[in-house]
Structure 1
Amino acid sequence: MENSGTPHRSVLLVEDDPANWLTLSAVLEEAGFTVAVAESLPQAGQLLEGQPRYDAVLMDWSLGDGDARELIPLVRRRVPAAKIVLVSGQGRAAPPVQVDAVFHKGAHVDELLACLERLLSPGRG
């Protein structure tokens, strides 16, 4: 999906698998997003405790050092307007409370980009 001239947007990607974060960050950057990557819960916490200006937080549901849902309260406190998208290898389920969407591993990345565009469109949220 090509950058359609949308405003500059920033994503925090929380993913512990290097192959996944390299692929996702490349796709997001090609679509016009600035991407910060955290490979662990503590690293994500450090990025969120700084001066975060993320439009979206995209996080792998199950990380090697814990469950990404542990970050939700911190995201909501530090960047309350950010949209949260969990990436899940589990079956299709409704998003947990305070999560804006769930992206399922194995789905085409265009679906992820379309989801982010919907969530970040003016007048949403």
Structure 2
Amino acid sequence: MIQHLTNTASKQKLLIIEDEGEMCLLINLLLDGKEMEIEHVQTISDAVEYFQQQPPAIVLLDNRLPDGFGLDFISYIREKYPATKIIMISGMDAAARDVALANGADLFLEKPFNRTTLYNAIEQLLD
């Protein structure tokens, strides 16, 4: 199920792949005021479907998802949608940083992160 959180065609698209609703709401609140179209899916299979419709500029990708690991999904994104920037987000898996970056993630944010950290990460990738 794809949830449209903001809908303006002229904005850069950011896809949140995260199964925890509270975390998605928090990220959406942190990005409030940022000129982006933010959408959310909860599973890797929903993310694949979303990508086939409209590849986003940036993905915020959690590691532990109901149907697999974000770490494994990075290589799929890199292979099929090389222009999409990937920010891996993880709380319990700090050791996943090296693997995420080795697999092709552009950045890694450890939960919890704040608005400034998230803004800076997005700005860095969009420049």
Q: TM-score, normalised by structure 1?
A: 0.80
User: Counterpart of 2:89?
Assistant: 87
Q: List per-residue Cα deviations over 1:54-111 (Å, max 9, x = no partner).
A: 1111111111321012322332244311110100112263323211010110121320
Which amino acid in structure 1 is aligned with residue 12 of structure 2?
R
- Aligned-pair RMSD on alpha carbons? 1.9
Percent identical pairs in the alignment equals 25
Unaligned runs of 5+ residues in structure 2 are 1-9
User: Counterpart of 1:72?
Assistant: 74
1:45–1:74 contact (8 Å) kept in structure 2: no
Which amino acid in structure 2 is aligned with residue 41 of structure 1?
I
User: Counterpart of 1:18?
Assistant: 21
Q: How many residues align?
A: 114
Q: TM-score, normalised by structure 2?
A: 0.78
User: Counterpart of 1:46?
Assistant: 49
User: Counterpart of 1:4?
Assistant: none
Unaligned runs of 5+ residues in structure 1 are 1-6
Question: SS of the counterpart of 2:31?
Answer: helix
User: Counterpart of 2:116?
Assistant: 110
